[in-house]
Amino acid sequence: MSAFLKNKTVRDNVMQFGFVGAIILLIIVLMLTARSNLEAQGLTSGFGFLDRATGWGVSFSLIEFTTSDTYLKVIWVGIINSLFLGVISLVLATMLGGLVGVMRVSGNKMAELIGTTFVEIFRNIPLLLQVFFWYALLTALPKPRDAISLADVTFLSGRGIYLPGFNVDGGYLFWCFMTLVCALAIVIFMSASKRFPKIDAKKKNIKRFIWLMVATIIVFLMVIGRTPDTTFFDIPYRKGLNYRGGIRISPELLACIIGISIYGAAYIGEIIRAGFNSISVGQGEAGHALGLSRWHTFSRIKLPLAIRAVMPTLINQYVWLFKSTTIGIAIGFVDFFMVISTSINQSGQTLELVAILMGGFLVINYSMAWVLNRVNDAIKLKGTQLRV
């Protein structure tokens, strides 16, 4: 036995299993203690309340929801809303942040000044204040009867922005959007990864097949999700004191999107700038020596190297930005956090709902980080190839 324990690998495994086992045991003891205390106070525990009707409605939902629906469904509404807000905000923050990062290293004095001013302003103002500012600005727009018209198809008012749209259930539109995002991620992964064949013709055929499948799925979802007895495409129009038809983007949702996107772009811009600054000057000079234009040197040499260098930091920033979607509760946006908070006030099942909230964010953020880490493993340079 003593000889067996002298093995370093065995000792390390025993210590790790013992540590994990102690944590699990502590969690079980705490759960049993909390349950007994709740029972002593006459409070019920468990997740049976999820099948009860909520009795209250939500102001924004991508899927159909009524006051007679269950707590389980309202939690699902909150998760979908948070995913919707998070995906849009992350995409916009990445696009804007990438542009700001390029401006800061462009060598153009005016572009560098604009990029620096953007970063220094929006990075140093708390996100909560920015969301309050955009919400106050959006709600200060004219009333629907005096709404600002853009080509008579888009209207800006204090009650929201009205856009032309499809008469399709919001849940189906959400899955159409997620399908498009996943397809785009797969295509980018295939283009950057060295695990796939380098035969351009074969890669083009695979990409064409992916886009064909995406188009088929989106058309199928929109057809089956179409609202009965309505036209497929609808343009908003004024009726009475409000607008009917089309798509309404509420001030709460739009304020969250703008605030998180701009705030995140300020940080992502700095991360991108650091990635470009980490590239040796010799890399660009080598491109010019080979006769490459400035654009080809940027797109074929500097940009891929910068993305590889900053990918781990970007992953961490994406996880942090998604967690910041909980800021929506400050202005009344119905996200995952707000739904859980309201459910706690209505049902009193605090421990169970907090556990659902923590578990939900853990699953979402871990899944996002896992996927992006796989992308990072696929595109990163191995060994000493980064050394110059």
The pLDDT tens digits for 152-192 are: 778 888 888 888 877 777 677 777 877 877 777 777 666 65
pLDDT digits (tens, 9 = 90+) for 56-112: 888 888 888 888 888 889 999 999 999 999 999 999 999 999 999 999 988 889 999
The answer to whether 159 and 253 are in contact (CB under 8 A) is no
The CATH T-level fold of domain 71-140+250-379 is MetI-like fold (1.10.3720)
**What is the three-state SS of 317-364?**
HHHHHHHHHHHHHHHCCCCHHHHHHHHHHHHCCHHHHHHHHHHHHHHH
pLDDT at residue 200, as a whole number: 56
136: which residues sit within 8 A by CB, 6+ positions away?
Answer: none
* Stated pTM of the model: 0.79
pLDDT for the residue 388: 43
**64-68, 204-208, 326-330, 381-385: least confident range:** 381-385
Of the candidates 77, 123, 24, 93, the residue with the CA atom closest to the CA atom of residue 265: 93
Altogether, the residues listed in the chain come to a count of 388
Residue 386 is predicted with a pLDDT of 47
Name the more confident of 267 and 217. 267
pLDDT, residue 168, reads: 75
Please name the residue that has the structure tokens 């153009």. Answer: 108
For 286-297, the DSSP string reads HHHHTT--HHHH
- Per-residue pLDDT tens digits for 319-359: 999 999 999 999 989 999 999 999 988 887 888 888 899 99
